[in-house]
Amino acid sequence: MNNEKVVLDNMSMQRALTRITYEIIEKNKGVNNLVLIGIKTRGVYLAKRIANRLKKLENTDVPVIELDITNYRDDKKEKNNSQKVATNVVDINEKNIVLVDDVLFTGRTVRAALGAINEIGRPKRINLAVLVDRGHHELPIRADFVGKNIPSSKDETIKVLVSEIDDRDGVEITKK
Amino acid sequence: MVKKYLILDDGTSFVGEAFGDLSTATGELAINSNLNNYQESLTDPLYHNQIITFTQPSIGNIGINPKSYESILTSAKGIVVHQEENISFSHLKNLSLNSFLKERHIPGICQIDTRALQKYVHTHNVKKASIVNNNDAHAFDQLQASVLSNQQIQSVATPKPYLVPGSGITIVVIDLGLRESIVRQLSKLNCNLIVVPWNTSFSEIKNLDPEGVVISSGPGSPEEIENSVIDNILEIQKELPLFGIGLGHELIAIVNGAKIKRLKIGHYGDNHPVKKIITNEIVYPHQAQDYAIVTDSVDTSKLIITYVDLINGTVQGLRSRDYPTFSVQFLPESALGIENNLDLFDEFIESVVAHRRVKYEL
- The domain that holds A116 is classified in CATH as 3.40.50.2020
B347 touches chain A (CB under 8 A): yes
Measured CA to CA, the distance from residue B4 to residue B16 in angstroms comes to: 5
Name the residue type at position B77: K
Q: Output b/e per residue, A8-47; b: 16+ Cβ within 10 A.
A: beeebbbbbbbbbbbbbbbebeebeebbbbbbbebbbbbb
Query: Helix count (H) and strand count (E) of chain B?
Result: 10, 22
- Tell me, yes or no, whether A96 lies in a domain: yes
Q: Output b/e per residue, B170-195; b: 16+ Cβ within 10 A.
A: bbbbbbbbbbbbbbebbbeeebbbbb
- pLDDT tens, residue by residue, B209-225: 999 999 999 998 998 88
- Tell me, yes or no, whether A155 lies in a domain: yes
- Tell me, yes or no, whether A10 lies in a domain: yes
Name the residue type at position A3: N
Q: Is residue B253 a contact partner of residue B267, using CB atoms and an 8 Å limit?
A: no
**Cβ pairs bridging A and B (under 8 Å):** 48
Instruction: Give the bridge partners for A126, in sequence order.
Output: A97
Measured CA to CA, the distance from residue B168 to residue B307 in angstroms comes to: 29
- In this predicted structure, what is the pLDDT of residue B345? 95
**Among B280, B340, B351, beta carbon nearest to A19:** B351
Name the residue type at position B298: V
Length of chain A (residues)? 176
Q: Output b/e per residue, B271-283; b: 16+ Cβ within 10 A.
A: ebebbbbbbeeeb
Work out how many domains chain A is built from and give that number. Answer: 1
> What ipTM, to 2 d.p.?
0.91
- Tell me the chain A residues in contact with residue B324 when contact means C-beta distances shorter than 8 Å: 26
Length of chain B (residues)? 362
- In this predicted structure, what is the pLDDT of residue B358? 72
- Tell me, yes or no, whether A133 lies in a domain: yes
Domain boundaries, position A15? 4-72+92-175
Measured CA to CA, the distance from residue B355 to residue B211 in angstroms comes to: 9
CB count in 10 Å sphere of residue B304: 19
Which one, of A26, A53, A63, lies nearest residue B280 by Cα?
A53
- pLDDT tens, residue by residue, B48-64: 999 999 999 999 988 88
Measured CA to CA, the distance from residue A145 to residue B61 in angstroms comes to: 50
- Tell me, yes or no, whether A86 lies in a domain: no
- In this predicted structure, what is the pLDDT of residue A90? 92
Whether residue A22 and residue B304 make contact (CB cut-off 8 A), yes or no, is yes
Class of domain B3-145: alpha beta
- Tell me, yes or no, whether A159 lies in a domain: yes
Measured CA to CA, the distance from residue B221 to residue B240 in angstroms comes to: 25
Name the residue type at position A29: K
Whether residue A53 and residue B278 make contact (CB cut-off 8 A), yes or no, is yes
- In this predicted structure, what is the pLDDT of residue A81? 72
Measured CA to CA, the distance from residue B235 to residue B202 in angstroms comes to: 7
A26 touches chain B (CB under 8 A): yes
- Tell me the chain B residues in contact with residue A34 when contact means C-beta distances shorter than 8 Å: none
Low-confidence ranges of chain A (pLDDT < 50): 1
Q: Any idea where the domains of chain B sit in the sequence?
A: 3-145, 152-361
- Tell me the chain B residues in contact with residue A29 when contact means C-beta distances shorter than 8 Å: 321-322
3-state secondary structure of A167: coil
B300 touches chain A (CB under 8 A): no
**Chosen from B276, B357, B362 to mutate, greatest number of chain A CBs within 10 A:** B357
In this prediction the pTM is 0.93
Class of domain B152-361: alpha beta
How near does any CA of chain B get to the CA of A135, in Å? 14
B118 Ramachandran zone, left/alpha/beta (phi>0; psi -120 to 50): alpha
Whether residue B319 and residue A18 make contact (CB cut-off 8 A), yes or no, is no
- Tell me the chain A residues in contact with residue B319 when contact means C-beta distances shorter than 8 Å: 22
- Tell me, yes or no, whether A78 lies in a domain: no
Low-confidence ranges of chain B (pLDDT < 50): 337-338, 362
CB-facing half-sphere around the CA of A90: CA atoms within 13 A: 14
